[in-house]
Amino acid sequence: MNICLIGYGSIARSHLQALAREPVTLRTVMGRVAESTEAFAREFGFARHTTDLDEALADPSIDAVLITSPSDLHAEQTEKALKAGKHALVEIPLATSLAETDALGRLARERKRCLMVCHTQRYYPALVEARRWIAEGRLHVHHVSARYAFFRRENVNWAGRRRSWTDNLIWHHGCHAVDTCLWLLGATEVEVKSQAARPSHHLNIPMDVDVLMHTPEDQLISVNLSYNNKLPYNEYLLIGEETTLLVTDKRLVGPDGVILEPAVGDTAPGPIALQDREFLAAIREGREPAIGASAVRPAMAVLQAVQDEADRT
């Protein structure tokens, strides 16, 4: 399977590490800066490199496109990839509006192409185990309290790499947290309330956001997001009838201690490897991938409501 990679940032490297053991050929990498794109192609052994997306997609040998570009470009580039007849694996978020999400889902169905989104937290072992508890009826959840916050007052990513673009707390990291909460509960429709701080004078984006959700089963969900936090965390507290579970640092913890955590030196495939493997399997088997446009739509509908409220204030 011939792969075209769009973007050469830190997450692109993580995907290439995950794909190293998969039966794929790195055909083309497309990037914004010619010199950086060429250097990246040499480093990872791509056959071709270009700064022209249309040129990359015109190659009939390309089977699938992996999109790791800035969030605001995802929808446009995914549309082009699907129209060029390519399967697409898109970094979170698929788009920055619900309308674009729906349009891309329709296009993938019309073109009979595989479209999958990198909601990687769905592959975290601790979260998978927590969801299993809920699905099996071992934990009847009353309330989910999620916090996703770290320090990002400059255009520098998690690996310390300076970016040419500004991240989006609502549609990027908010998408991770909101989707994970809904997925844990199996919720598809919720009532939504939210508040967002006024855009930062420096980055011109909301740096702090709160999202409240209420499911038809009378479960409450609260998601707190911040780019101002100097004590980073990404955690999910599941308050249930039978017990309370906490997922933090990829560990699952209960009142009596740790229930699940990765073993030191564990060589099992990581979340990105499992996610990318599912995408390739869905293509080979001609089926809908585990995390397609319809699977992420509930979270995108919540985020659209959050964005609409932020735009009104």
Walk me through the domains of the chain, giving residue ranges and CATH numbers: 2-120+272-291 (3.40.50.720), 121-267+297-312 (3.30.360.10)
pLDDT reported for residue 159: 67
pLDDT reported for residue 15: 97
pLDDT reported for residue 262: 82
Cα–Cα distance measured from residue 104 to residue 115, given in angstroms and rounded to the nearest whole number: 8
Instruction: Note down pLDDT in tens along the chain; length 313 residues.
Output: 999 999 999 999 999 999 999 999 999 999 999 999 999 999 999 999 999 999 999 999 999 999 999 999 999 999 999 999 999 999 999 999 999 999 999 999 999 999 999 999 999 999 999 999 999 999 999 999 999 999 999 878 766 777 777 899 999 999 999 999 999 999 999 999 999 999 988 899 999 999 999 999 999 999 999 999 999 999 999 999 999 999 998 899 999 999 999 877 677 899 999 999 999 999 999 999 999 999 999 999 999 999 999 999 8
Q: pTM of the full predicted structure?
A: 0.95
Q: In sequence order, what are the residues at sequence separation of 6 or more whose Cβ sits closer than 8 angstroms to the Cβ of residue 24?
A: 1, 2, 3, 280
Q: How far are the Cα atoms of 15, 26, 108, 110, 166 from residue 79, in angstroms, in the given order?
A: 21, 21, 9, 12, 22
Residues in a beta bridge with 116: 89
Cα–Cα distance measured from residue 48 to residue 58, given in angstroms and rounded to the nearest whole number: 13
Six-digit token string for 138:
């071992």
Select from 137, 212, 216, 150 the least CA-distant residue to 181: 212
